[in-house]
Amino acid sequence: MDQQESAAASAGSFISLNEHEQRYYSGLHSLCQADTSGKLSSGKVAELFKASQLPPESLHKVTEVCGAKRLGFFGTPQFYVALKLLAAAQSGLPIRLESVTANLPLPRFVGLQNDPEMRYTTVPPGVDGQGLPAPGSASWTPADRTTFRHLESSVDKKESWSPPRSPCSSPPRSPMNYRSYSYSKQRNGTDPQMVYESKHPSRPIVQLEQHSSPSNYGTKATVEHPVIVRASSSDRLDHQGLVDYSDDDPWRITEEQLEYYTNQFKSLQPDLSALILGSVAKNFFTKSKLPIPELSHIWELSDVDRDGALTFSEFCTAFHLIVARKNGYPLPESLPPTLRPGFIQQEADIPDTPEDQNIIERLQPSIATTKQDLKEESCQQDTTVMMTTPQQKQTLRLDAFPQRPEPPQDLDPQLKTKTRPRSYSSTSIEDAMKKAEEPPTPPPRPQKTHSRASSLDLNKLFQQGAIGVKSGWLPPPPALPPRPTTSQVSHFAPEKTPQNKVQQPNFADFSHFREEEENRVKVEEQGPRSRFGLSTEDLSGTSKQDLIGASHSQAPQKPVRRKYHPEPQNLESVPPPAMFPSHTKPAQKLPSRQKREIQMAIRKNKETNAVLTRLNSELQQQLKVVHQERVTLESQLDLLRPLAST
């Protein structure tokens, strides 16, 4: 070992630790660290000391010498000194401060009761020599001490064939190589000194100590130094092992990893169907000591529903990406297909159920695992990508867990709010929509009361109709289909003097028929068809008058107008009455009631028609005005454009 002058990070400078010691000690430090103030949990420290298999007196001496007794707690420097002293004691040197400076092997600890221990120790009994450790059948629940005992014994077994003090016995080590390889990696990973680490103290470090001498460790350390892995994850270990000798897709989450992620998820959020909030996840992932931009990128990749929280699958994705990154894989630009949440979910469904059963068999059946089973089964029923619809998943879980309806329900609204309805954009959208709608449908403009102070032309025109009214005559209904009206008005306005369109009297007959067609529309509304012929006759006479007043007429009807227009208004009024009585004569054959009814209807129609025509003409006028404005604006724009383009 090189005696480098590397002072321990937090240790006092009075002892100098070499590289390996540094790493090892900081790993142990993380093992024992219980709180963030730097004080080590005395319980953990005591465990560690006991694991060193030194007699209690020496332990007391160590405590005294390193200064913890004086201080009342183990700070980091004290801890490091204590470790050094333990190493000294183990190698037979007296426990004194001077011993600290000696070139000592690393202290060895036996029988540390830590959780991750079992992960590794499950391997030795079953899978020594095999590449793959048994799928994490051991429970990861830290609190389960029963398994510790079981595994501890296996640890002891491990010890037996690699005696603690013997330096590298390569044969026993080779099957363990991949494991110790990761052990050492984990040891290098002094980073993950996180709270959850305390739950899974780095037992592997202990293991490694048993199996390899410091020198061996040294070689391994140099090999694994560039690789920094989060400690206490056999999953990662396994993952690494898998990667080592199988060219598997590194983005594929293995079963063990999934188990591990599940446990980690549970440690953060007991309900597997719930979400981990962003801040919680941030704290958790920050412990991985990856740079923040990388973590940010990982988050972007894994939070597929963009809700600022991680579902279980998203969490697995993120965790896996972090693991991969720690192992040296560059971060992908986009989410690999095997890490897609749907994929993970499908994976989770299949492997987890048998494993869960194993867990149940081996361990105390925990509600969590059964729930996981239920969850997995319920998830299995889902075929498609569930994570894209977290709400759907949520409801499924709700079905599966009637026992705990409340927490998931609490999270449901959370979920819904987190799916970010993006209502902020709605305002602009709505406004855009409104603006888009307005031009096509101009407001109705009930301008019936609008001033008649339109152009004089219109007034002139309407005077004819008005005169018709004044004369007590019914205002002639437009008697035209609605469509041609606009065109007629536009024709009409420039016309100004409809006098050109006098019609010959002989056209009247034709107009009869034509107007019959037009008036049919109104006639049908009014009365039975039996009176059709009569009404048309009646109307035909009046329709001519309509044409007089109605400024809009089709070309064929112009002759009708011409008939009346050149005549002075008096004349107009005369012939119509003349016409009218003549027409009414045949009508008198009919019952007078019907006739009156018809006439009343006719009058009403005529009135409405007159109003409508007035309205129409006014609108047309306004349209013209607007057109003119537009033209002026366009011309201005054209004038301005050459300026703008320069």
Partner 1 sequence: MAVCIAVIAKENYPLYIRSVPTQNELKFHYTVHTSLDVVEEKISAVGKALGDQRELYLGLLYPTEDYKVYGYVTNSKVKFVIVVDSSNTSLRDNEIRSMFRKLHNSFTDVMCNPFHNPGDPIQSKAFDGIVSGMMVQTG
Contacts with partner 1 by CB under 8 A lie at: 278-279, 281-282, 285-286, 292-293, 295-297, 299-300, 303, 306-308, 333, 420, 422, 424-425, 427-429, 431-432, 644, 646
- CB closer to partner 1, 226 vs 413: 413
- CB closer to partner 1, 168 vs 195: 195
First to last CA, the chain: 78
Please, what is the minimum distance in Å from the beta carbon of residue 502 to partner 1?
A: 52
- CB closer to partner 1, 97 vs 335: 335
- CB closer to partner 1, 281 vs 458: 281
- CB closer to partner 1, 72 vs 293: 293
Q: At what angle do helices 115-127 and 170-188 cross, to 10 degrees?
A: 150
> What distance in Å separates the CA atoms of residue 544 and residue 537, rounded to the nearest whole number?
11
Query: Dihedral of CA 350/354/360/362: which sign?
Result: negative
Please, what is the minimum distance in Å from the beta carbon of residue 645 to partner 1?
A: 8
Please, what is the minimum distance in Å from the beta carbon of residue 627 to partner 1?
A: 23
Please, what is the minimum distance in Å from the beta carbon of residue 242 to partner 1?
A: 29
What H or E segment, with its residue span, contains residue 494? helix 484-495
Please, what is the minimum distance in Å from the beta carbon of residue 239 to partner 1?
A: 24
- CB closer to partner 1, 306 vs 445: 306
Here the tokens at position 500 are 């050109």
Please, what is the minimum distance in Å from the beta carbon of residue 638 to partner 1?
A: 15
Whether the CB-CB separation of 368 and 270 falls below 8 Å is answered with: yes
Sequence-separated (6 or more) residues with CB below 8 Å from residue 192: 30, 230, 231, 232, 287, 288, 289
Q: 3-state class of 276 per DSSP?
A: strand
Please, what is the minimum distance in Å from the beta carbon of residue 186 to partner 1?
A: 25
553 φ, ψ to 5°? -145, 155
- Residue 377 vs residues 138, 352, 356, 371, 385: alpha-carbon distances, Å: 21, 10, 11, 10, 15
Sequence-separated (6 or more) residues with CB below 8 Å from residue 66: 74, 78, 79, 81, 82, 85
Give residue for tokens 């001498």. 213
Here the tokens at position 516 are 């019959």
Please, what is the minimum distance in Å from the beta carbon of residue 643 to partner 1?
A: 9
> What distance in Å separates the CA atoms of residue 400 and residue 385, rounded to the nearest whole number?
18
- Residue 284 vs residues 73, 259, 267, 537: alpha-carbon distances, Å: 27, 17, 10, 93
Please, what is the minimum distance in Å from the beta carbon of residue 261 to partner 1?
A: 18
- CB closer to partner 1, 247 vs 333: 333
Whether the CB-CB separation of 535 and 523 falls below 8 Å is answered with: yes
Please, what is the minimum distance in Å from the beta carbon of residue 425 to partner 1?
A: 5
Give one DSSP letter per residue of 18-34, joined into a string. Answer: -HHHHHHHHHHHHHHB-
Q: Tell me how far apart the 2 most distant CA atoms of the chain are, in Å.
A: 144
- CB closer to partner 1, 453 vs 644: 644
- CB closer to partner 1, 431 vs 524: 431
- CB closer to partner 1, 79 vs 285: 285
Give one DSSP letter per residue of 109-178, joined into a string. Answer: ------HHHHHHHHHHHHHTT-SSPPPS-S---TT-HHHHHHHHHHHHHHHHHS-TTS---HHHHHHHHH
20 φ, ψ to 5°? -70, -45
Instruction: Let me know if 462 is exposed, middle or buried by CB neighbors in 10 A (0-12, 13-18, 19+).
Output: buried
HSE at residue 394, side-chain half, CA atoms within 13 A, is: 19
Secondary-structure breakdown of the chain: helix, strand, coil percentages, each rounded to the nearest 5: 65, 0, 30
Please, what is the minimum distance in Å from the beta carbon of residue 264 to partner 1?
A: 17
> What distance in Å separates the CA atoms of residue 424 and residue 430, rounded to the nearest whole number?
11
- CB closer to partner 1, 350 vs 432: 432
Cα torsion through 541, 545, 546, 551, rounded to 10: 150
- CB closer to partner 1, 428 vs 451: 428
- CB closer to partner 1, 277 vs 601: 277
Please, what is the minimum distance in Å from the beta carbon of residue 193 to partner 1?
A: 20
Please, what is the minimum distance in Å from the beta carbon of residue 9 to partner 1?
A: 25
Please, what is the minimum distance in Å from the beta carbon of residue 420 to partner 1?
A: 7
CA 412, 418, 421: angle at the middle one, nearest 5? 110
- CB closer to partner 1, 323 vs 539: 323
